Amino acid sequence: MALTSALCIAASGALVAAIVVVLADRMTRGQEDAHLRDAAAVLIYELGARDEGPEYLAEDETLELASTGVLIALFDGEKRLGGSDQLQWHAPDTCLERGIMRSCARAAGPYTVVTARDATPLREHRHATMLSAVLAVVCATLLGAAIALALARRVVEPLAQLSLRVEQVPSDDPGNADLGAESRLEEVDALRSSLGAALARLGDALAQAQRFARDAAHELRTPLTTILGELELAAERLPEQEQGELQRAQRVARRLSSLVDRLLILVRTRPREVLGGPVDLLEVLEEAYLALPSETRARVQIGTVSACVPGDALLLQAMVGNALDNSLKFSSGTVHVSVCATETDATVCIEDDGPGIAAEERERVFAPFYRTRASRAGDVPGHGIGLALIAHVAELHGGAARFVDCPRGARLEVKLPA
């Protein structure tokens, strides 16, 4: 806003200055030309009133005008009859500059009277006028820019404060956003009111969606638990060679139960619900390790370095457990798990020798239900919830999850405040 105002002031000032310079120069030249014509008028009068020859009258007038700096000459056609030999003939009723002189010509019967004077003062006056105009434009531009900047800051400051408030709106509860007090600027306050109403509607929609997801997940858990129990009882009554169909049904039911549990974690927990007690990450890794099926534990190697972070142990165990499940599912070798600690944060690193994740997909894999091209092409079972849960739990604890480059496979790093 200030820059635009300064440019407008500079453009308009330059235009006005140019007009002023042109008019001033024209007026100055007009006055000089009038003076030269008046000097010529005296000789024209004498040519008609006195009986002396034109050559004598021209020389006499030259001597009289010498003290004024005006030169005069009388021409018959283009032949000079008398006066200054520095002047040249030009058409009557015209004024022009030749070299350092400005001259004007007037008709006197069959003769032409040419008067001239040094034009250096005219040029100096023109240059002084142009310099004054440039200085005036620069000063006006600077002053206008300073005033415009002050006004722009007064207008933009409430917008900047409103922008900062919007950036601080909690993602889990936008309906309770604090957008600050009114700024007494009508447009900004109208924008604040519109944003507040939009955030309130968004908060209501988010709360309704979370309630629906939470209630739906709870409603699904009971029948799934019942189905799993009934399948286990049915499997006990059948001979081992006839349990194939039941075992497949059990696997499907377990996957559905795992999906429901993960959905519950995604929708039921908010940052303010995470406990603040210290949690030993090594114990979290060990609990997640022990929760794995016995046939896959041999493929997991855990480092001995540990660190404490504030948070909820069960949520952190669910996060690590999902990370281990993901790595074990996509790799056939050993999965390495370690903790790197500094004074400010602790990082859980999980590395496998699987196909890895393409660089362009490393951000999108943390979105719910997103599955990579490799997982879809390899027909790997899954719902696309595990990595979303990892990112969600990390965010709840004030941290972040990301995939980084590694020589082979995938390397997941979850950084948490220590």
d(CA 31, CA 15) in angstroms, rounded, equals: 24
Please check whether residues 280 and 413 belong to one and the same domain.
yes
Question: 237 is in which domain, residue-wise?
Answer: 186-255
Judged against a pLDDT cut of 60, whether residue 378 lies above it is answered with: no
Give the mean model confidence (pLDDT) for residues 100-114. Answer: 92
Q: Do 406 and 285 reside in the same domain of the chain?
A: yes
Please tell me whether residues 385 and 290 are part of one structural domain.
yes
Task: Specify whether 405 is located in the same domain as 285.
Answer: yes
Q: Within this chain, do residues 212 and 297 fall inside the same structural domain, yes or no?
A: no
Query: Do both 311 and 404 map to the same domain?
Result: yes
DSSP calls for 378-400: TT----S-HHHHHHHHHHHTT-E
- Amino acid, single-letter form, for residue 282: L
Domain count, the chain: 3
Residue 100 in any domain: the answer is: yes
Residues 313 and 383 in one domain: yes
User: Would you say residue 287 lies in a domain?
Assistant: yes
263 within some domain: no
**Token pair of 94 as six digits:** 């015209």
User: What pTM was computed for the model?
Assistant: 0.47
Instruction: Give the residue with greater pLDDT, 315 vs 121.
Output: 121
- 221 shares a domain with 111: no
Report yes or no: 331 and 406 within 8 Å, Cβ to Cβ. no
Residue 385 lies in a domain: yes
Say which CATH number the domain at 102 has: 3.30.450
Residue pLDDT, tens place only, 310-347: 888 878 888 888 899 888 888 888 999 988 888 889 99
pLDDT value, residue 242: 66
Residue 350: how many CB atoms within 10 A of its CB? 21
297 and 357 together in one domain: yes
Q: Are residues 249 and 285 in the same domain?
A: no
pLDDT band at 350 (very low <50, low <70, confident <90, very high): very high
Local confidence band at 202 (pLDDT 50, 70, 90 cut-offs)? confident
Where among 100, 123, 146 does a domain terminate?
123
CA distance 115 to 62: 10
Write down which residue in 91, 123, 155 finishes a domain. Answer: 123
Q: Whole-number mean pLDDT of the chain?
A: 83
Nearest by Cα to 160 from 142, 180, 145, 130: 180
